Structures are given as C-alpha cells and as structure tokens.
Structure 1
Amino acid sequence: MPKHKPELARIYNVFGLSSNHELSTLLVNIENTKRFSDLLHAVEREFFMVPGEPSGEPEDEGAAVDDECLVNRWGSKPAGYLEQFRAALPIAAANSIPDYEAPETGEKWSLTGENGSWDYDNLDELLKDNYGHDSCGDGHPASFRSGLYEGDTVYRGTECKDDPAKFLPDQDDLLEHMSERAYESDAGEWVDNYPTLDAEAKADLVRAMRPLMAWARKHCQPEFFTIKDVTPHIVTVEDVRKAAPW
C-alpha cells in the first residue's frame, strides 16, 4: 500500500509506481499519459479521418454525417491497433499530401512579344541590355533591329508553369504499361485482360499516385513556361531614368 494517499493504491499500480513514490510523481505520470493521448488523437484526426456513411436511422435523416477514423484505439489491443494502423497507412499517406498550389510566378518582359523572346524578369534588365543598341542580327538586312528608345513598344506578360505532376503517367498509362509488360513476359500467351481492377483497387491506385505527384512537384519544377496576359508597354523617359546607369 502506498504510504502517500493509500486510497490511490490502484492508480499507483497502473503506472508501475511503488508505495514510496510521492503524489507529485503520480501526477507527472498522469500528465504525461494525457499528453501522449492528445498527441495520438491529433495524429488520428489529421491523417486517419475519412468521410463517414449515413447511419440509415430515421432520426438521423438530414443530419450531417460525421467523419470516421480508420483506427480505433478504444478497446483495441496493441496487435489489433497496429493491424488497423498498417492497413490505414496508404490512406494516411495520401491524406497528408496537400492539393497542388502553383508556385508564385512573376512577370516577364520581351522586346517583341513573340514566343521564345521572354528573356527578362523586369523592365530595367530589358532596357539595360537593349537601350540604344542597334543590332545587325546575322548580317542580313531583314534581321537588322534598331536600338530601343523612348516611345518604343515592349511587352509585359505573366509567366505560367505547368504542374509537374501533369508529366507523370496517369492511372490508365500505368495499367497499360503493366498490361504490355505482362504480354511481353514469358507467360504472355496466357495473359488475359491483365490487370483487372475492382472499384477498391482503383481507389487505392489513385491514392498510391499522390506521393509520386508530391515528389514531382518538389523535385521536378520546370524551368520552361508559357506566357499569358500579354500587354504592350511604351518605354518612357522615366523608365529609362530608373534603369540607368547601364
């Protein structure tokens, strides 16, 4: 029996404490347990929640449907909870990946507004490279370009970059690739409609693709871009003053 608060003997025992521990030690253990429980609850809420199903009960008709947790710690033994956790990991991995947000892109500037001519991030750079500089091009008269001066027109546009995930194979591409490899395998003559997926397998494939999409967005951002919202800009004396000196 603990010498401190003997009526708490069973609680001391739950935490593996001896009868010589102070009440403050018991409280620390309780506080830690509550903190660990809150952390586990936060993980479950963030990663393991999925839309629930209507109850079908008349009294619940029209009521909002609560989300459901894929793992259930209440009444579960460690082995059962780990089994649920393992089965839910692919869904948690997909849920942890945010929807795509395109990176911020700025404006681009061009002398001509033509494709492939958007070489400048701002007007100052364009002016420093081109103001007053006549160009003989490749030596042919038709390629001559006079220098840039006040009153001339240049072009401003908005840079647009594609989502890198667009360049990945989609689910149909992946399944077609698997089918082709199967037909080319040593057992290809016996292959028939491979792979055939049910609705659950197709849903799992969609989730399985999300980490790969996240990888592409992190590591494969394109340097190439297109331009939208092209507008002409007439070079002013103030533009030239701000860009100087060259």
Structure 2
Amino acid sequence: MDHVLQITHLHQNLKKILICNNYTSLYQSLLLSKDYNCSNTLNTITFYYVDFRVIINLDKVFGQLNVLESVHIINCSSLEQIINLSKPFKLKSLILNKVLQFESLQQLLLKSGDYLENFGLGFGYGLSSRQVLLGLIIKYCKNIKFLDLCEFETQITYKILDLIENIKQNLNYLSINIQEDNHLINGQALPSKLEYLSLVLNVKESDFKAFLENSQDVFINKLLIKLQRGSDDISHYIKEYIMKGERVKYLAIKGCGFLCGRFPAFPF
C-alpha cells in the first residue's frame, strides 16, 4: 500500500498508463484507490504481457473511467475477462505472440475490430492458425494503420495480399518479415503513400527489380530493408530506382555489406 500511496502522490492527473504482468496488482490497487481519482483524466491504457486471469475487478476499473479513449493489448493471454467487460472500449492496438482461443479472439474483434489501428502477428503461430487469424482480421478490421507480420510462408501469401488490399486506404506503417515467397513484395498491393515500410527478406535481383518497378507511383517516407544471408546484390537497383528518384525520403539498409539503420518507434 505504501507503493500505491507514493505513486498516487507522484502521478495525479495521470493520462496514460502501461500495465505489465509483474505489477498488475499494484496498478489495480492504484486505479481502485479512494485516494487517487483518475476517472476524468486517464485516457489510454496499455496492457503489456499481461495474463488477464490474474486481474480482478477489471470490470469495476473500466466502469469508473469516464474519458478512456484507447486500449492497447500487446502479447497478452487469456482475454476472456476483457472481452466480457460490460462497458464498451476502443481497442486501438492488438499485438499477438501467444496462441489464443479463436472463439475469444473473434468475440474481441466483433466488439472492437472497427477501432483497431495497430495489428501485429508474431512467431507463436503455426500455418493453419495464421490463416484463421488473417481471415478474422480481414473480416472485422478495416481501419488498420500499422501492420506488422513476421515469418509468413508461401501458402498464405494470398491472405496477406488480401489483407493489405482490404486496409490499403488507411495503411500507413507496414512491416513484413518474408521467409520464402518474395511475391509479397511485387509492389502492386501497396497503397500510394506509406509513412514507413520495413522489409526483412532473402531477395533475388529479379524480385527486387519488379518491386521497384511496380511501386514507382508509391511514395515512402521511411524505407528499411533488412537483407538476410543469401540475398543477391541489389546495390545497383538501389542507386537506379531509389537514390535517383524522389519516392523515398529516408532509406536504411541492413545486411550484405550495407550499414545498419534504426527502427522507428511504435506509433502510439
């Protein structure tokens, strides 16, 4: 309780809070404390690696937040409690790296998919699970601005292209880790403008040239290319299509003799 009182005095008028798995009880005590009233100030909650089974009174916490604008769920598990909240909330970010029950995820997207702006799918899913998950995102989420997909196989290329096409109007940040099929970078599926594009791939000259030719009408503010071992030399295409043109404002290339570049911060 002493920790709660210290935080109470230090963080009056709190607007944003990050709740981590190791400190859920502390934050819960803070939000329910009679000495601390954030009902009319707290507008953003981020759950980071939280197992919602260990949180109690979540419905009570959400019920007293009057100006809550966005909820972000990053690599969390056991979502049933947050799905069953009686008070509606705007789920703005959903980053998945742990296997969840598809029925629970479908319920969550059915309730909050229209609000979702940031979606990421990590390494913890097999091929069939990825197919189902992408299908759910295509069905329920039309307003995604940030999309991060890791290690996708040839068999679901069409699903990824369908998803990008489905959200093209709003998509602004795209990060794809491509293991096998470089048809994903043919450039034709991209929106006309991207703030940030990150490609991690084992690239062949012909595929990369096709990407640059097919995306000549696409303006990219920040382009990051991470070349995996075995990639062809694409330096001449970089000079011909990117450096001489004005389609890319900032360029960073990592691997195969190129200098390293920095990843931008997550956009929320």
Q: What range is the shorter-chain TM-score in?
A: under 0.3
Kindly indicate which of the two structures has a greater share of residues assigned to helix.
Answer: 1
Question: What's the TM-score once normalised by structure 2's chain length?
Answer: 0.19
Which structure has more RCO (C-alpha within 8 Å, separation ≥ 6)? Answer: 1
Name whichever structure is richer in strand by fraction.
2
